[in-house]
Structure 1
């Protein structure tokens, strides 16, 4: 009997994780040993559930602005597959040596199965810089991030707010929960010292984000 590849799923967007679970459990090659919706659940779950590969949402790694990837590599033996919607080239380069592979959330189930098996066999899979879901920040945006201590994801949320998307719509576009978007909004408001949504919109126009 062939041993199944043990997987641990971590994503802040519950519906996405449920769909992922259905896709993976439909195959006899995989066994899901744990789930997590946030960093705390992830760290607690990995301590009691041994897995071969951790499938983790890129955004979950930066909840609270604290990168988690190096702690995961240092303290746990599992391989890491990053699931992402979009990712900046700078962040891609920063974490690429610490993970075993990347997979866009718009990929199909065949790609997912193939990537998992390749990583399990020891292959290191880098994300191509030509991937349309990998983007580069302009010098102006890099200055903005540095000046206001914004994260790449907060910058994306500012753009979407300025384009008049609701929190629910932003959550859907970024594959995160509405609660996570509300947290981004609070952090953005605090960092920009914005009085209201109009202030955030004016900020986006002033810095040519849209």
Structure 2
């Protein structure tokens, strides 16, 4: 805790340095090009009636809450930097397979394509989401995160926070998640 209290909030009006881990991941991604080796996925099955606009609202709140999910990575003056974008709508890739007898096979193909599509870290964020309706009361949500923005634990946390937010919104309640004292960019600035 004493180390965390020593981390100052970095100014957001300029590009910020990458952490050492991010810089390594940025370099590896540039070397490997379109490799999905640095993609981390997580999926949940959602049973029952799904309120898709509320789900999108919850996803957008998570992206607003965690700056690293709306961060681009660029090369400025021969140095990789992170640029935090303002919160905005999330692109939720939606598909309805409920009328298809081969829905499972189609889902597997969509899932594979979703995971294998390269991230353009310079122009877009490191997170994408896929929502597939398998039956009227069965959906599958898959999120894919580039490793530059997190790890397997991060995806688990994202899905846990999504569940808490969606449940609160369905019950007409406010955001139940506490504000974050620091963001990953603050840590990266402190580390440098």
| TM-score normalised by structure 2 residue count | 0.27
The structure with more strand, counted as a fraction of residues = 2
| TM-score normalised by structure 1 residue count | 0.25
The structure with more helix, counted as a fraction of residues = 1
Q: Which has the higher contact order (CA 8 A, sep 6+)?
A: 2
